[in-house]
Structure 1
């Protein structure tokens, strides 16, 4: 099945044909005029709906059937589940098989040519870039920042429904410097809140994770180097490890006094964070203020986000603790069937960056960034 998404032109064609029929019949009946007005309104409404759903673009699905195999970041698991369902609906006979094994595993499987694309919260390392190009038949591997998920500081404190933490508070909690919830350093940011005299139970990702990598980059950048650890493996000296985003979220939900870092879609209670201009609540609006200034280290269709600039954002009302999950794809070098499936899936997923995706805790991409992604997808060979 080939589906043409150039819907506006088709609807306008129907309107034009209806108008021609009216002229030919010489009938100026009010009912027929109403039909033309209704059709015109339908075209406008269709365009409006398309814009609201994430900048629908002009493309044709190939209709290629089969199983598209991918692996990687668990942070985007809920988004992939949603995209998978709409992909199967839009392209009958096609399906996505996505394994949320973590960013590191996804990158390794992509380089080993075991999956068509990798989901990763971190870009390929310098020593992986050539290996990825070799896997792509000598062609560049592209990073497409596709799933935008704010990272929350999730906590479980009975009776405390609003909690303010500074960046320094967060650093010292995960370093084990602040160990109790009623520590004066936390209390001074939460006037009027009755904080319990109870230990802080820290949970961290035990698997190699792009979320851990980005969270540590954020802590280092936002605290001016007070946090020194780096990489996908989180330090295990403080707290308890749990596997995957769902794992740490479940532990926090089950443990009084717990705290962790996790994608917003997995969090129940989320702390407000003071990035330097006062506590900021995690909302679509506060994240969009950050995304308005998104910058890249690379050029063209390979879009590696400049995380240092991103995480140092302290604009009033902005929430820069944002995870930009990449779909790492071959720019060229796929066999014909795989190329068609990759492009079909990504085009469908881009068209469904909407309220349903937002309900899963992600920020739908739109505007200039959506246009950049569309151009890159359609340039895959």
Structure 2
């Protein structure tokens, strides 16, 4: 089943932009991006308690994508305030670790910025006794190319240049390839310090998919969760990368937009072949999400994203975080709470709550498909 790519696409784009158009994208929060360990009853940035339908009780254990950690914090605080009988513990650790823990039966659900691979689906059948793991898109985001270069406030980069920077083929900020994209900008004669993820990461997977599609052949490695480029330095998690760029002069890296905002980091615009470079904003990412296609079958809603888009105002470096759950064979003692929590997160209130923190509310047509699957979980 695919999202329609006809007149409905235009309407979907408008609807997605409308969801984010009124949301503040200013930097917020503190520099501490460490997820809390459980839901609390404190002030929540989400739906009022009366709008969250609680069901079931107990503890929901989860782990995985650090790109969605800030979103999970918002959701679990709101849900915990409304549903005192349930706590949500999210361990982070990266998409690779999350999927691994899910397939070991250690967590109720996992967050992954990459859809399950066939081998991972096969492995999930041992845990989902009567079913298998499926991908439910829940958190829309964009990968911000963050940088720390004195005197440079509006950096423009493109696919081939980024591929060469992250593979140590371009090593100076005043390299002719960067200068050509930034006429009139004074670029320093300084070494580029590129940072990449040390842990297996769905954000890395999405970035390298972009480099493979839009890099003009400059990225010679297969896309994947494990970093393959040459040179550079590594850090753990999105928070680790953001902290390094904030501290190290002449550095560059890639993090989900909420981490760029929380740490007050500058984000590069991307030259895609459109009439002008595309800024890293939720509105521009929404244009790309509106044209996504569903690649999964049945209740699996894995998406195909166009990383090489040249459409006006469409930011190409997007990612979606999936909540990995069993379609059948979920543990009976946490099933009701799991369905209740996921129902809140995909609701208009849940999506708008994280939109205010730099995420991209999913288009309503896609959200409705997720909403239809959740009650069928068994």
Q: Give the TM interval when normalised to the shorter protein.
A: 0.7 to 0.9
Match runs of 1:131-280 below 5 Å: 131-229=123-221, 230-235=223-228, 237-267=230-260, 268-277=265-274, 278-280=276-278
Give a deviation string over 1:196-235, Cα, whole Å, max 9, x none.
1111110000111111111111110112443122321112
In structure 2, what is the Cα distance between the partners aligned to 1:276 and 1:379?
43
Match of 2:359 among 355, 358, 362: 362
Give a deviation string over 1:340-374, Cα, whole Å, max 9, x none.
11101111212233444123221112410111111
In structure 2, what is the Cα distance between the partners aligned to 1:361 and 1:60?
22
Q: Is the 8 A contact 2:141 2:282 kept in 1?
A: no
In structure 2, what is the Cα distance between the partners aligned to 1:366 and 1:168?
30
Match runs of 1:1-381 below 5 Å: 61-229=53-221, 230-235=223-228, 237-267=230-260, 268-277=265-274, 278-307=276-305, 310-351=306-347, 352-381=349-378
Q: Is the 8 A contact 1:55 1:370 kept in 2?
A: no
Q: TM (normalized to structure 1)?
A: 0.82
Q: 1:158 to 1:368 in 2, by over 3 A?
A: same
In structure 2, what is the Cα distance between the partners aligned to 1:259 and 1:190?
16
In structure 2, what is the Cα distance between the partners aligned to 1:357 and 1:282?
17
Q: CA deviation at 1:62?
A: 4.8
Equivalent in the alignment of 1:45: none
Q: TM (normalized to structure 2)?
A: 0.82
Q: CA deviation at 1:326?
A: 0.6
In structure 1, what is the Cα distance between the partners aligned to 2:54 and 2:180?
59
Q: Secondary structure at the match of 1:220?
A: helix
Q: CA deviation at 1:133?
A: 2.1
Q: Is the 8 A contact 2:160 2:217 kept in 1?
A: no
CA RMSD of the aligned region, Å?
2.2
Give a deviation string over 1:77-113, Cα, whole Å, max 9, x none.
0001111101102212211000011111111110111
Give a deviation string over 1:237-264, Cα, whole Å, max 9, x none.
3110000000011000001100001111
Q: Secondary structure at the match of 1:343?
A: helix
Q: Secondary structure at the match of 2:294?
A: coil
Give a deviation string over 1:134-182, Cα, whole Å, max 9, x none.
2111303210111011001100011211101111110111111111111
In structure 1, what is the Cα distance between the partners aligned to 2:159 and 2:52?
46
Q: Which runs of 5+ in 2 are unaligned?
A: 1-18, 24-45
Work out the number of aligned pairs and report it.
Answer: 328
Q: Secondary structure at the match of 1:186?
A: helix
In structure 2, what is the Cα distance between the partners aligned to 1:353 and 1:123?
22
Q: Which runs of 5+ in 1 are unaligned?
A: 1-48
Q: CA deviation at 1:188?
A: 1.2
Structure 1 stretches (4+) deviating beyond 4 angstroms? 52-56
